[in-house]
Amino acid sequence: MNKLGRGHRDKVHQFMTITGAGEKAALTVLKASDWHLDGAFDIFYRQPHAKSFIDVRHLEELYNKYKDPYADMIMADGISNLCTDLQVDPQDIVMLVVSWHMKAATMCEFSKQEFVGGLQSLGIDSLEKFRERIPSMRAELQDDQKFKEIYNFAFGWAKEKGQKSLALDTAIGMWQLLFEENRWPLVDHWCQFLQARHNKAISRDTWSQLLEFARSVDPTLSNYDADGAWPYLIDEFVEYLNENGIIQKGRMKEWL
Amino acid sequence: MPQNLDPATPSLANAAICSIAASLIPEPKNIAFIEADVKVITANESETFEKFRNINLGINRTEIDIKFELEMSSQKKKNFQIEAFKHRVVVDPKYAEKTWKILEHAIHEIYNHNASGLSFEELYRNAYNMVLHKFGEKLYTGLVSTMTSHLKEIALSIEASQGALFLEELERKWTEHNKALQMIRDILMYMDRTFIPSTHKTPVHELGLNLWRDNIVHTIKIQTRLRDRLLELVQRERSGEVIDRGLMRNVIKMLMDLGSSVYQEDFEKPFLRLSADFYRGESQLFIESCDCGDYLKKAEKRLNEEIERVSHYLDAKSEVKITNVVEKEMIESQMTRLVHMENSGLVNMLMNDKYDDLGRMYNLFRRVPNGLSLIRDVMTSHIRETGKQLVTDPERLKDPVDFVQRLLDEKDKNDKIIHLAFNNDKMFQNALNSSFEHFINLNVRSPEFISLFVDDKLRKGLKGVSEEDVETVLDKVMMLFRYLQEKDVFEKYYKQHLAKRLLSNKSVSEDAERSLILKLKTECGYQFTSKLEGMFTDIKTSDDTMQGFYAAMGQELGDSPSLAVHILTTGSWPTQLTTTCNLPPEILTVCDKFKTYYLGTHNGRRLTWQTNMGSADIKATFNKGQKHELNVSTYQMCVLMLFNNGDGLSYTEIEQATEIPTLELKRCLQSLACVKGKNVLRKEPMGKDIGEDDTFFFNDKFASKFYKVKIGTVVAQKESEPEKQETRQRVEEDRKPQIEAAIVRIMKARRVLDHNNIVAEVTKQLQSRFLPNPVVIKKRIESLIEREFLERDKDDRKLYRYLA
């Protein structure tokens, strides 16, 4: 950076802010486009970016480091090691974001393709880079659109293979985790309600509709519409809230 | 005709005219034509036409005179002309005055009843001449002032009349005036025809009426007196007095003749006002002192009186107005109070079948806005209330047959009311139907009870009843069935009960059975009854099969017990948990033989014995050599057969030997040992209930008057609570695929639809069978989403898409 002229340095900054690319990637692309920003964007977005700038061999090494000794994939132990190396709690929700980026099919598992491909598209080829990216990944949870994608991704990721619905315990765990970040005040009541009244697996529809519900219906339920085509479980939840006096006349007792 | 007046034949001119005139008489319409073409001549020649004029008076003929100027001198110069008409100047300056005096005198004479001495023809001519000589104005004003002065005199005499004579005097004078007016008009007819239209004055007759109105009716002294007198008479009549209706009619007729506005202003409006006050007061009085029925009678009487009054002496147009007043004051303003009157209001009438009162109320209330809907609403809520009490009364639940009978009675009662009192009004029929639908469904057991009612009827109730009566009963049942929202529940129960009837051969009449199924089919379609019909077919084919079996295997069987098997198609019959018991060896042999036979003739079938549905006839010999035939259930038969090989069997022994389910075994032992007169077994210790430690003995001392003894199982005819729950659950389960099928059908057609519309459509599609619960529909939708028949729209979460 220091070797660059001031104009060039600004361009690199600008490029990085817009594309979110790393400094190295930015430099390479800018140089290739002869320091024209437009040209650089073209190049950057046209090719599956970053890929060419990542050393696949590093990724292979990284993969092999965590790979399960008995199968060609990273299993729970490997992930746990990875977490330790990343200085992240395995229970941390950021691992969900990581999995989302890797398009992982199942919880606590990364296939080689998922791991390598995922890191490649993230432009990560070393543990340090990985670690550096953790905060920005965590920040992605604050983006409504991304959160929604991650939330809906979580269903398929967390459920048992071959099952259509998500086991209740897992679902509750996921909800507590997810809504910890994207705070929904009724989440505890929701989980209590499910344990008390439902005690069955959760369907994909109910899962995805709950986020809609959490977002569009305010916690006092003042704008809840009984004819609003909510899954019956949510209708019953509302009933449960009213019955147990948790919500009274559009006011929530212990909230606020 | 003008061409007849050929100038070359002048001598014929007069004759021609005469003949024209004569020929004109039967054809008056031609006159105008002639008048237009033929010119009129001098007055002094008029005398020659005297006769002619007289002839023509009747047809309003005016003068026709012709003058010819003939050029007689020269044959060659045939030059002639018709001269313009010239007025003859009236020489006598006092002519007009003299003539008017004659006429004025005549008018006086007419008013003084001296008209007989007058020459009508002369007077007419005078009037005619006055008009002709431009004295029309004088004539007219003269008429007005003369008539006015006469009327003023008349007014004085009317004013002078005392009390009751007032109207009579008025009527008399009015008649006289009319007569006089008639004569005067005839005399002045020419003025009426020519002078008045051209000067736009009031014609004589109308003038006469107007003058009468202004000088008599509208004078201060007469106007109010007349009105008050008339109203007083009406009031008197209302209070029961007999009044001179002829006089009333004539006077009212006079007002009407004077113009509709005179009638309205001078009589009708005050009359209506007075009537409103009167009836307001009277309705207050009645409502305080009468009950509802009496009030209605009085109101009806008043209404009829007013209608009658109109027909006797009022303008026919007044009928609507006065009836409106009565309706408004007597009915509309009091109707709510009337309907809700305690101990005599509508509810009381309904309860006591007061057809006359109800009919009266209907006929009166229909005259006022919202009257009928008020009756309907009160009736509806009454029926709903009584219906609700009926169906929710725990006492009633004990006897399902009585329960349904009461429903039918209630329906009959209300039908009769609507028929007799409410003119079979559709509005009330609909209200009745919706009320029944409302309360019948308040009790979830209604479908079961209705089926039990049918069961009762078909088992015994219809024995010895004529075919038509059977139909009537069945039609009534169908009517109740129509009210049911959960028709599928009825079907479920009906199937159970029908199965029992068929298997125990208890049905009174197969025709009745089939007739009812046909009715259900017309009501609900083929699907609804296909299984029921299947049950009948099974019974029939079973009979054939048994014949075949005995024909083929008869000899082999020897004297083993005879067997009758009903082969029931799985699915058509109510599902039963197959709890087989151990059959006695004698029976088992026959059964096995049958099984072999059946499976040999029908490939690929499976037979399971439904021992819980069978029955048996056993011959038993008791101590004194008494023989009885016992009609028992299969389970009971199994138990009894054990006693051929030993006595004093404990409950456990029996249970082990037969493997009959505990509950069933207890029931069947109870009916064998604990029912007086049927106790072929003896139990130790004695007691009403069966205990696990009881021991049973063959009851040697059993005695009965009858050779055949039917030992019924102690059955709960009505379902017990757990059974009910189970049936309910089965119904709910059966509904699921139906709801899903409906959703898929709808979505397949619509591709995309929002939630509420799906629910509405599904409800519509299924309501002929049952009323689906929206929550259940929602669950089915979610299940279909999960199974990927549907998906939620990505942008609008209330929208579902069909995934082909």
Q: What is the pLDDT of residues B318-357, one digit of tens each?
A: 999 999 999 999 999 988 988 998 888 899 999 999 999 9
Q: Which is it for strands A73-74 and A110-111: parallel, antiparallel or unpaired?
A: antiparallel
Q: Residue B615 has what pLDDT?
A: 81
A206 touches chain B (CB under 8 A): yes
B400 prior amide bond cis, ω within 30: no
Tokens 């490997």, located at residue: A78
For B558: left if phi > 0, alpha if psi spans -120 to 50, otherwise beta; the answer is: left
pLDDT tens digits, A106-119: 888 888 888 888 88
Write out chain B residues lying below 8 Å of A227, CB-based: 755-756
- Considering only CB atoms, B797 lies closest to which of A164, A227, A229, namely A229
- Torsion angles phi and psi, residue B244, rounded to 5: -80, 95
Largest CA-CA distance found in chain A, in angstroms, rounded: 70
Write out chain A residues lying below 8 Å of B755, CB-based: 227-229
How far apart (Å, rounded) are the C-alpha atoms in residues B248 and B348? 43
- Asked if residues B361 and B298 have their Cβ atoms less than 8 Å apart, the reply is no
- Smallest CA–CA distance, residue B744 to chain A, in Å, is 17
Which of A166, A205, A236, A238 best tests the B interface by mutation, with the highest count of B CBs <10 A?
A: A205
How far apart (Å, rounded) are the C-alpha atoms in residues B21 and B15? 10
Q: Do A164 and B786 touch (CB under 8 A)?
A: yes
CA angle A129, A135, A31 (to 5 degrees): 45
Render the burial of B14-48: b for 16+ CB within 10 Å, e for the rest: eebbeebbeebeeeeeebeebeeebeebeeeebee
Q: Residue B49 has what pLDDT?
A: 41
Q: Do A205 and B778 touch (CB under 8 A)?
A: no
A232 touches chain B (CB under 8 A): yes
Residue A48 — pLDDT band, cuts 50, 70, 90?
low
How far apart (Å, rounded) are the C-alpha atoms in residues A230 and A227? 8
Q: Do B756 and A229 touch (CB under 8 A)?
A: yes
- Smallest CA–CA distance, residue B740 to chain A, in Å, is 16
A204 touches chain B (CB under 8 A): yes
pLDDT tens digits, B380-400: 999 999 999 988 888 888 888
Write out chain B residues lying below 8 Å of A208, CB-based: 792
| Packing angle of the helix pair B165-187, B95-111 (nearest 10 deg) | 150
Write out chain B residues lying below 8 Å of A206, CB-based: 782
Rounded mean pLDDT of A9-23?
76
Number of residues written out for chain A: 256
Other beta carbons less than 10 A from residue B261's beta carbon = 10
pLDDT at B689 over 80: no
Strand, coil or helix: A2: coil
Residue A122 — pLDDT band, cuts 50, 70, 90?
confident
A212 touches chain B (CB under 8 A): yes
The secondary element (H helix, E strand) that includes residue B223 is helix B220-238
Amino acid residing at A123: G
Write out chain B residues lying below 8 Å of A232, CB-based: 775, 778-779, 782
Q: Residue B575 has what pLDDT?
A: 66
All residues at 6 or more sequence positions from B362 whose CB lies less than 8 Å from its CB, including other chains: B372, B375, B421, B422, B423, B425
Residue B98 — pLDDT band, cuts 50, 70, 90?
confident
pLDDT tens digits, A167-225: 888 888 888 888 876 678 888 888 888 888 887 888 888 898 888 888 888 888 888 88
Residue B310 — pLDDT band, cuts 50, 70, 90?
very high
- Smallest CA–CA distance, residue A232 to chain B, in Å, is 6
A188 touches chain B (CB under 8 A): no
- Considering only CB atoms, B756 lies closest to which of A209, A212, A227, namely A227
Tokens 């212990």, located at residue: A254
Write out chain A residues lying below 8 Å of B786, CB-based: 164-165, 203-205
Q: Residue B461 has what pLDDT?
A: 67
Which of B753, B778, B791, B800 best tests the A interface by mutation, with the highest count of A CBs <10 A?
A: B778
For chain B, percent of residues with pLDDT exceeding 70: 87
Q: Residue B363 has what pLDDT?
A: 92
How far apart (Å, rounded) are the C-alpha atoms in residues B500 and B495? 9
Other beta carbons less than 10 A from residue B384's beta carbon = 17
Which residue in chain B is spatially nearest to A213 when comparing CA positions?
B797
Side-chain-facing half-sphere of B605: CA atoms under 13 Å: 15
Tokens 């989980």, located at residue: A191
| Packing angle of the helix pair B426-440, B400-420 (nearest 10 deg) | 160
How far apart (Å, rounded) are the C-alpha atoms in residues B737 and B780? 9
| Residue of higher predicted confidence among A184 and B272 | B272
Lowest mean pLDDT among A224-228, B201-205, B417-421: A224-228
Q: Find the chain B residues whose C-beta atoms sit closer than 8 A to any C-beta of A.
A: 754-756, 775, 778-779, 782, 785-786, 792, 797-798
Largest CA-CA distance found in chain B, in angstroms, rounded: 166
Q: Do B782 and A203 touch (CB under 8 A)?
A: yes
A227 touches chain B (CB under 8 A): yes
Which residue in chain A is spatially nearest to B781 when comparing CA positions?
A231
Rounded mean pLDDT of B142-163?
88
- Smallest CA–CA distance, residue B783 to chain A, in Å, is 9
Which residue in chain A is spatially nearest to B779 when comparing CA positions?
A232
pLDDT at A22 over 50: yes
Q: Do B778 and A165 touch (CB under 8 A)?
A: no
- Considering only CB atoms, B786 lies closest to which of A205, A209, A229, namely A205
